[in-house]
Homo-oligomer: A and B are copies of this chain.
């Protein structure tokens, strides 16, 4: 049991935090987060004055519900992405949300501590999936599939420190596209970049860059700069911080924390400042030091080949060969890439708008991926390899941007697709309304009635205004006698009598152009 007084003190402090944020007009997300903490504290006090209903009414830390408006935006984004994946001929698969714990073991390096485990309730030990790549590799090995082009859109789970205002959650969607199979070099790799280019362009998120590098170039560079073999991975992790930290701090970590020599660090520093296109790859192939590494040369030749295909795909305008790109995950073996939004035009929702430049950096990476030729082999009893390359679209950040934008533009997002409300002008017409709406449903028209025996005409019309229903089919004594329906256009308030037998055709005609 906790000390009651201690919790009460904590509640007082947390209450102050919430009041302060509110008075500063902080963002809704930020306030919600702090209110949630407050509620949690109150719940820990237990009992309380309200009696039995003293529990916390919230979603788990780092998660959220999607309301209908958010779902409408989410659906639009998913449709754009799915259309692109299908345009490139991908199939789709699905895997369970949890895997055997051992399936995930040893695949994520240091990040393994962020994996959610299920409670041992007897039976197998299970963990929630951490990404879609490892389950994909498990699926390929288990079904002995040696080539496939598939996409998978699903939620993954990480016990990370959530930063929800910036679109970082513990439960979040990934949209993955991967090509598995033994093919001629760099063709599938180039298609992955083409896909990123298409999706980011179509979503109109503003300008972006796709950084490209190769694990073999990084390893070769480390070798020729004198990094000991056993420090490749850890130095690679430090290089990975260059998008957040200035070189001086990265250098410091290399030398002070990781024990690298100053000379090696400085040599690395020269290389990682380089970025360019095919020309840079050519120059580095001539570089006296770099050219000593076979690995680096293989990577550089492939970058050259990659760029030649990217030219044919018409996407070189956004792609940069950037030697500072490292990427965190252990399993990459060749080309790696990461897409970032470069426009500061993305308005942050909260008050730290003053700090615009920092905020625009923090939106950061919206897609990333690379080649992982060894992962499937880790699951195969005979270690048979299946070369793979893929890309993952970081959809939550994209949602955040789209939502902020819809809010800023005060855009009216419709959350239903109803085409017509069946309404009545007088009392006692419920049966007639139900009869008519049945006719419409049976003809495939999206229609509603109010669930009231005798709704007022005005409240029926108001419902249409509020929810964006474009048409009203109004029934009255006279209309029923004449065998017509009064069809009202909500926007223009225009009304026409349509004969009952023409009504369906007329509604379809009027809504097909919308």
CA distance A312 to B452 in the complex (A): 15
Which residue on B lies nearest to A150, using beta carbons?
Answer: B68
The reply to whether B87 and A438 contact each other, CB–CB distance below 8 Å, is no
- Partner of A118 from the list B117, B417, B448 (CB cut-off 8 Å) is B117
- Asked, given contacts A312-B434, A444-B87, whether A102 binds B380 with beta carbons under 8 Å apart, the answer is no
CA distance A332 to B337 in the complex (A): 53
A159 interface hit (Cβ, 8 Å)? yes
The reply to whether B96 and A64 contact each other, CB–CB distance below 8 Å, is yes
Taken residue by residue from 72 to 116, chain A's Cβ proximity to chain B (1 for < 8 Å, 0 otherwise) reads as 001100000000001111111111111110110000000000001
The reply to whether B98 and A60 contact each other, CB–CB distance below 8 Å, is yes
Distance in angstroms from A413 CB to nearest chain B CB is 11
CA distance A435 to B61 in the complex (A): 48
Distance in angstroms from A20 CB to nearest chain B CB is 24
A309 interface hit (Cβ, 8 Å)? yes
A71 interface hit (Cβ, 8 Å)? yes
- Partner of A184 from the list B183, B194, B442, B452 (CB cut-off 8 Å) is B452
- Partner of A438 from the list B55, B99, B123, B313 (CB cut-off 8 Å) is B313
A142 interface hit (Cβ, 8 Å)? yes
Residues from chain B with Cβ under 8 Å of A4 in the complex: none
A141 interface hit (Cβ, 8 Å)? yes
The reply to whether A95 and B60 contact each other, CB–CB distance below 8 Å, is no
The reply to whether A93 and B66 contact each other, CB–CB distance below 8 Å, is yes
The reply to whether A96 and B438 contact each other, CB–CB distance below 8 Å, is no
CA distance A183 to B449 in the complex (A): 12
CA distance A406 to B90 in the complex (A): 21
Most B Cβ at <10 Å: residue of A94, A183, A194: A94
* Interface pairs (10), CB distance under 8 Å: A57-B138, A65-B96, A86-B416, A86-B417, A86-B446, A89-B447, A187-B434, A194-B438, A312-B431, A312-B435
Spell out A's residues near B (CB within 8 Å). 40, 50, 53-61, 63-68, 71, 74-75, 86-100, 102-103, 116-121, 123-124, 126, 128, 138-139, 141-143, 148, 150, 155, 157, 159, 171, 179, 181, 183-184, 187-188, 194, 198, 309, 312-314, 378-383, 415-418, 430-431, 434-435, 438, 441-442, 444-449, 451-453
Besides A53-B381, A314-B442, 19 new A-B residue pairs in contact (Cβ under 8 A), listed by A number: A57-B138, A59-B99, A59-B100, A63-B96, A65-B95, A65-B96, A66-B95, A68-B91, A71-B92, A89-B416, A91-B415, A91-B416, A96-B171, A97-B157, A116-B118, A118-B118, A119-B120, A179-B451, A194-B438
